[in-house]
Structure 1
């Protein structure tokens, strides 16, 4: 059984602050689909996988803003999402120690995971229409 990987973003507190990004996997491609969502938390980043939330639900960090389909995925992505999320969170924490805690990097976290999934050939490969290219087009701030 296959699924869909989405990048979901939430409204920012102001036009100057970054939007919060998260990743979601669904088995259906419509707004009311239930998703498994991988997210992270600011400060010392820790990943969290939440199951059975609506794709377009609000997030504790803000109101739902939009989404983009990154690609069709197989069950291996859903099974390994937590491990990818944990690894990405640790990489972000390492980077935070170098550049300071006030850096916003849920977007870095999402990039690391999508690039890793592409490298593992679990998402469409990098190209004009690849997942990472679509992710680059997503809104970053307010």
Structure 2
């Protein structure tokens, strides 16, 4: 069965705050499709933890902000879908490691999505150019 992988972003609390990004998987390509959402959230130590939320509408608001927009990254197969949670956890670990090297005030949660999309594109599981499109998506405000 084919599924659709989306990058979804939510409005930030202010014009200088980062937008919250998630990756969402649906089996239908319309606004009211139910999605499984993959994301990272900061814990009380300042590190990102991967989490999965099931059965949310693709265009629903998120507790961190109102729905802002989305971009279809491509179709994925069941093998990718089964691995996506592991990809998310590994990407969170990589981002946390990089953020520790950068310092506390320069962490970047958007790197999590970049790591996953780059991995899927490099493995030819997403179309070429997917990462370049993600890099153009709104990050702030």
User: Normalised by the size of structure 2, how large is the TM-score?
Assistant: 0.93
Residues 85 and 113 of structure 1 are in contact (CA less than 8 Å); yes or no, is this contact kept in structure 2? Answer: yes
Residue 9 of structure 1 is matched in structure 2 by 9
Query: Structure 1 regions of 5+ residues with no counterpart?
Result: none
In structure 2, runs of 5+ residues without a counterpart are none
SS at match of 2:72: strand
Matched, 1:95 2:98: yes
Match of 1:123 in 2: 126
CA distance in 2, matches of 1:139, 1:18: 9
- Aligned-pair CA distance for 1:104: 4.3
**Displacement after TM superposition at 1:106 (Å):** 2.1
Does 1:139 find its partner at 2:131?
no
Q: TM-score, normalised by structure 1?
A: 0.92
Q: After the TM superposition, which residues 1-142 of structure 1 pair with which residues of structure 2 at under 5 Å, given as runs?
A: 1-42=1-42, 43-125=46-128, 130-142=129-141
Task: Give the C-alpha shift of residue 103 in structure 1.
Answer: 3.2
Cα distance, 1:100 vs structure 2: 2.3
